[in-house]
Amino acid sequence: MSEERTFIAIKPDGVQRGLISNILGRFENRGYKLVGIKLVQPTESLLKTHYSDLTEKPFFPKLLSYMLSGPVLATVWEGKDVVKQGRAILGATNPLNSAPGTIRGDFAIDMGRNVCHGSDSVPSADKEISLWFKKEELVDYQSHSFNWIYE
């Protein structure tokens, strides 16, 4: 029931603005379990693979430059329906379309500085997690709160 995982990255603007604890807290407060976390300076190769579906878009060079501009906090979260709910917690990709109370609705204005990335499907999550994390960097454990979150 709670084995689904998603990849959430706090982008360079979120890291530089000191939003890490606010963003992690949204997922923890919801009841999701953190199973992987690391601060990384992504390489161009990693980003081109991660954003392979966007490489032909006219905005890709700006996206690549932005994502190379500073560290990224890569995280993996586990829980029931975490991919879909993670996207809801983040809000719409364009922050101006994000509701207040979402991460982007509370912390972002421009789409080119939208603070976070979240997997958009379970297959994408699996691909992104394996791209950013080695298997041994992910932790399997039973949260002491499990029975207080799930029936």
Catalytic residues: 117
3-state SS of 29-89 is HHCCEEEEEEEECCCHHHHHHHCHHHCCCCCHHHHHHHHCCCCEEEEEEECCCHHHHHHHH
93 marked as binding residue: yes
**Rounded Cα distance, 41 and 23, in Å:** 19
> Binding residue per annotation — 114?
yes
| Side chain identity at residue 76, one-letter code | V
Tell me the C-alpha distance between 86 and 94, whole Å: 16
Q: Is 26 annotated as a binding residue?
A: no
Match 């379970």 to its residue by tokens. Answer: 122
According to the annotation, is 59 in a ligand binding site? yes
- Cα 51 to Cα 71: distance, rounded to the nearest angstrom: 17
What are the φ/ψ torsions at residue 141 (nearest 5 degrees)? -160, 160
Give the C-alpha separation, 81 to 64, whole Å.
Answer: 30
Q: Which residues are annotated as a binding site?
A: 11, 59, 87, 93, 104, 114
Q: Which residues are annotated as a binding site for ATP?
A: 11, 59, 87, 93, 104, 114
